[in-house]
Structure 1
Amino acid sequence: MEKLTKHDGLHSLQLRENLWYVGSQDHDIKIFDIIMVTDFGTSYNSYIYKTSEGYVLFETVKVLFYDEYIKKIKEVVGNDLSQIKYILVNHTEPDHSGSVENLAKLIPNIKIIGSKNTIKYLKEVTNIDDLNTVEAVEGKDLKIGNSTFQFLNVPMLHWPDSIYTYIKEEKILVTCDSFGSHYAFDDILMSKLPQNKWDDYFKAFQYYYTAIFSPFKKHVLFAIDKIKRLDYNLICCGHGPVLDEKIDFVVNKYKEWSTEEKITKKIVVIPYCTAYGYTAMMAAEIEKGIKSVDKSIRIYPYPIDVANYAAKKPEILTNIAIASAVVIGSCTINNDALPLAHDILSSLSACNQKCKIGAAFGSYGWSGEGVPNLTARLAQIGFATMKGLAINFKPSQVQLKQCHKYGEKIGNAIINDLLESDDVFKPISHKACLMQELD
C-alpha cells in the first residue's frame, strides 16, 4: 500500500490497490439518533471495490451528503456509473442506506446485495418495489469476477438485518456499524490518528459502544467468535476511522465490554425520590425487610434529587447491571412519578433485564399514579415485576409494617429465584392498574 499524504476529507481516498474510501465526514452534527451526543462529529463510511467484472459499492451515505458522495465515486470510476454493478448493504439504517434510492434510479441495472431482512427493509426505505436484489447467505460465497465475498450473519448488531462481508483475496472485513465510532476524521485511517487525538477518539469509541452495542452483548460475542477464523488485516467500519491499525485493540475492547459480570444474587438497588420524607420512610422499612430475610444481601439505597442525580446516576446504573433486584421509589406529583425515577428506568435496556426482579413503591396525596406508572414501566422493559406498594401521605405504623413485609417478599424472591404468584404484577389497563395499586 502506498504511503498516504494528509487527506482533506473532501475527496476519495485509495486504501488498497482495488479499494477506495468514498464516505463523508460530518463535523457539524451534534446529536445522532435523537439521544447520542456527538462531540466529535461522525462519518458515514462507504467504500468502492474493483473486481474484474466491475465495481462493488459498500454501504452508501446519508442522503444529505449525496452530491458530495457522487463526486467522490466519479473520482474512482469516472462518469460512467454503470461500471458499478452492485451495492452491498451490510445494514439498512438510513445513515448507511440513505442514498440507495437515488443510486438505484441513477443506475437502473444495479444489483443490491443484502441479507433477507436487508432486502425487506430496503424496499420500505426506498419505496421501490422492484429493486434488483441478491440475497447474501452465510455459507454461500458470492463470486464477482476475481473476488470472493463471504457473508456472516450477525443479527442485532445492531439491527436484525446486520451482516459482515469478508473479501477473501484481500483480507478485508466490512462490518458497517460494528467496531466504529462517532468520530469525524479527515485523514480517514486509524494509522493517521495523531497521538494527541487518541483520548478524544477513545472517548467517542467507548460511548458509541455503550450507546449502540451494550444492549446486545451476547450478539457481540457471537460475532467476535465468528470472525476469529478469518484472516483479516483491515476493518472497514461504518463510522469513524478505518481500522488499518489497532484492530486487535478495538476487537478486544468490544469483547471485554461485552463479557458481562455475573449477576450477583444478593444485590438490591433502591433509588428513590422523596418530597417530604414519606417515601424515604417506606424505603428504610423495605430495606429492613429485605435484610431480615438474609443479612448478606447487599443493599444500595440512593435518595436522589436534581442536585445529586447527575453525579449518582453512573453508580446507580453500574450497580443495577450486576444486581438481581431494582426497587424504585417515587412520590406522585402532577399525576406521575418524578422525572428522575423515570430517567433511571428509561436508561435501562429492555434487552438486559430478563433475570431481574423489579418493584416500585411510593407515597401519594390524592391521585397516586406514580407507583403504577413505574410498575408498568418495569414490566415493559422485562423485569419480573412485583405489584407495587403505594401509601397515602405519611405511612402509619401499620403501613410501615406493610413496607417491612414488602421487603421480606423481595428478599425471599431473591433467595428463592422466584416471585410468589400472588405478588406478580400482571399488566392490565392503566385505570385498572391504578386501582389495583391503591387498594
Structure 2
Amino acid sequence: MDKRKLHPRVHWLGAIDWDRRLFDSLIPLPDGTSYNAYLVQGNHKTALLDTVDPAMAHILLAQLEDVEKIDYLVSHHAEQDHSGTIPLILERYPDAKVVTTAKAKPMLIDLLQIAEDRFVTVADGESLDLGGLSLTFIHTPWVHWPETMVTYLPEAKMLFSCDFFGSHIAANDLYVIDQGRVHEAAKRYFAEIMMPFRTVIEKNITKLAPLAIETIAPSHGQVYDRPAWIMDAYRDWVSPTPHNLVSFPFVSMHGSTRIMVDHLSASLARHGVRVELFNLAVTDIGKLAMSLVDAGTIVVGTPTVLLGAHPLAAYAAFLANALKPKARFLSIVGSYGWGGKAVEQLAGMIPNLKVEVLEPLLVKGVPRQEELAQLDRLAATIAEKHSHESFRA
C-alpha cells in the first residue's frame, strides 16, 4: 500500500497482514492484523514513528523511497513487530537517531544489535522540535512491556499510541468505520495482552487525560478519528468493578459434567445472572479471555482424568491466573469415576487471582437430584454475591 495522509504533514505507513492467524505462536488472529508506522515531517526535521514486522520490511522500504532523509526514528516499544525493521531503516538513513526510553535502549541493543551511538533517550514529558511540529514523549510503562511510551503531536491533537488502544484487524479502511467490529477486536487485544497490567494501564489512562486528543493512531489496527469511545471502553475494561457475569469454561468427556454445566447455567439465568459458556474442546481461547475482562465470577467445569483435572480445564485455570482478571469469586464443578484431586489441583493453579472460592461440587458419576439441588444453591449464592457487590449490569 502507498502512504496515506492523516494530516498535511503526517502520513500512515505500514503493512496490512491479511493472512496472519497466530501471534507469538500463541494468540489467535481471526481478522489478521496490521503493522502501522507514521511519518511526521516538520519544517526542519523528519521523524518515523515505529517500523513494521520484519516479514513486511520491503513494503515499508518501498513507501519510503521518496523520503530523502529521516532524522529521528521513534521506537515506542521494543517488540519486533514494531522494532524489527529498525536496522534496515538505519542502514538506509545513516544519520538517523533512534529515539526511545532509557529502558528500551538496552532491550533494542539486545534484540536487534543496534549500535549504542545511534540512540537518543528521552525523559517522560520531553519534547522534540521538528520545526513547526513537535513530538512530546509520554512514558506508559507496562502497556504492555516495561519500556513502552506514546507520542503526542499537539499541533494535530494526535496521539501515536503503539499497542495502547490497538486491535489486531486487517482492513483497507484507514479510519474506523465499523465500530462494533473494531470494539470486539480491541477487546480481544486488551484481553490477551493488556489485562494482566490493567491497574497500571488505568494510571496511564489518567496520565493522558489532560491531553486534547482528536485522533489516536495505534500501531495495530485502524486509526480512531473519534477516539472517545475506545478510551471509554478502556476505562471500563481496567475498572476494578466487574459485571454481573459468570465466565464458565468447561470440558466434558462422557456427559456428566455437561449435565452439571447446563443445570447451573439455567439456574444462574433464573437468578438474573448472565452466563457465557466456553466448551474448551472447541472454543476460541481469545473469546474466553474477552469474557474474563468483565466476569465477576469464574466457574470451571471439569471431569477427572488420571486423578486430576482434565488438561483443558487446567489450561483454562493457567490462563486465568496469567491474565489476572478482576473476578471476585470462583468455583469448580465436575465429576469423577473413582476418585481424584481435581479441585485441589485447580485451586493451586490460581495464586494470582484475588478471589473468594465458593463451595466446589464434584459428583461421582451422573449427578443425582440432591446434587442438582446443590448447584441451585451455588447459583443462588453467586447471585447474592453479585448483588451485594453492586456489579455492573
Instruction: Give the TM-score band, short-chain normalised.
Output: 0.7 to 0.9
Q: Which of 23, 35, 38 is residue 32 of structure 1 equivalent to?
A: 23
User: 5 Å matches for 1:29-108?
Assistant: 29-77=20-68, 83-108=69-94
What is the DSSP-based 3-state SS (H/G/I as helix, E as strand, rest coil) of the residue aligned with 2:124?
Answer: coil
| Structure 1: distance between partners of 2:157 and 2:6 | 13
2:185 alignment partner in structure 1: 208
Pick closer, same or farther for the CA change 1:359–1:170 going to 2, 3 Å: closer
Pick closer, same or farther for the CA change 1:298–1:52 going to 2, 3 Å: closer
2:218 alignment partner in structure 1: 237
Q: Which of 189, 197, 200 is residue 174 of structure 2 equivalent to?
A: 189
Q: CA deviation at 1:94?
A: 1.3
| Structure 2: distance between partners of 1:127 and 1:305 | 44
Q: CA deviation at 1:100?
A: 1.2
Q: CA deviation at 1:40?
A: 3.7
CA contact (8 A) 1:375 1:385 kept: no
Pick closer, same or farther for the CA change 1:339–1:228 going to 2, 3 Å: same
Pick closer, same or farther for the CA change 1:44–1:314 going to 2, 3 Å: closer
User: 5 Å matches for 1:235-314?
Assistant: 235-243=216-224, 245-259=225-239, 261-262=241-242
Q: CA deviation at 1:385?
A: 7.6
CA contact (8 A) 2:249 2:278 kept: yes
User: 5 Å matches for 1:29-428?
Assistant: 29-77=20-68, 83-128=69-114, 130=116, 132-186=118-172, 189-190=174-175, 198-199=177-178, 202-203=180-181, 205-214=182-191, 215=195, 216-243=197-224, 245-259=225-239, 261-262=241-242, 318=291, 321-323=294-296, 326=298, 328-334=300-306, 336-342=308-314, 344-346=316-318, 348=320, 350-353=322-325, 356-358=328-330, 360=332, 364=336, 368=340, 370-379=342-351, 381-384=352-355
Q: CA deviation at 1:126?
A: 0.4
Q: CA deviation at 1:305?
A: 6.2
What is the DSSP-based 3-state SS (H/G/I as helix, E as strand, rest coil) of the residue aligned with 1:212?
Answer: helix
Cα deviation per residue 1:163-203 (whole Å; 9 max; x = unaligned)? 111123343321112233333333x532xx6xxxx44x632
Pick closer, same or farther for the CA change 1:150–1:240 going to 2, 3 Å: same
The one-letter amino acid paired with 1:233 is E
Q: CA deviation at 1:59?
A: 0.3
The one-letter amino acid paired with 1:96 is H
Pick closer, same or farther for the CA change 1:338–1:257 going to 2, 3 Å: same
Pick closer, same or farther for the CA change 1:348–1:167 going to 2, 3 Å: same
2:267 alignment partner in structure 1: none
Unaligned residue ranges in structure 2 (runs of 5+): 265-270, 389-393
1:426 alignment partner in structure 2: none
The one-letter amino acid paired with 1:211 is R
| Structure 1: distance between partners of 2:274 and 2:171 | 42
CA contact (8 A) 1:213 1:220 kept: no
- Equivalenced residue count is 373
| Structure 1: distance between partners of 2:146 and 2:290 | 26
Pick closer, same or farther for the CA change 1:270–1:69 going to 2, 3 Å: closer
Cα deviation per residue 1:107-128 (whole Å; 9 max; x = unaligned)? 4442211123222321222033
What is the DSSP-based 3-state SS (H/G/I as helix, E as strand, rest coil) of the residue aligned with 1:45?
Answer: strand
TM-score, normalised to structure 1's length? Answer: 0.66
CA contact (8 A) 2:73 2:96 kept: yes
What is the DSSP-based 3-state SS (H/G/I as helix, E as strand, rest coil) of the residue aligned with 1:159?
Answer: coil
| Structure 2: distance between partners of 1:281 and 1:252 | 39
CA contact (8 A) 2:109 2:115 kept: yes
Pick closer, same or farther for the CA change 1:274–1:106 going to 2, 3 Å: closer
Q: CA deviation at 1:217?
A: 4.1
The one-letter amino acid paired with 2:145 is W
CA contact (8 A) 2:246 2:299 kept: yes
The answer to whether structure 1 residue 16 and structure 2 residue 10 are counterparts is: no
| Structure 1: distance between partners of 2:274 and 2:215 | 45
What is the DSSP-based 3-state SS (H/G/I as helix, E as strand, rest coil) of the residue aligned with 2:65?
Answer: helix
TM-score, normalised to structure 2's length? Answer: 0.73
| Structure 1: distance between partners of 2:241 and 2:152 | 31
- Cα RMSD, aligned residues only: 4.7
Pick closer, same or farther for the CA change 1:303–1:44 going to 2, 3 Å: closer
The one-letter amino acid paired with 2:328 is K
Cα deviation per residue 1:242-282 (whole Å; 9 max; x = unaligned)? 33x32333333433444454477xx9877665667887999
CA contact (8 A) 1:332 1:371 kept: no
Pick closer, same or farther for the CA change 1:303–1:169 going to 2, 3 Å: closer
Unaligned residue ranges in structure 1 (runs of 5+): 1-8, 78-82, 287-296, 418-439
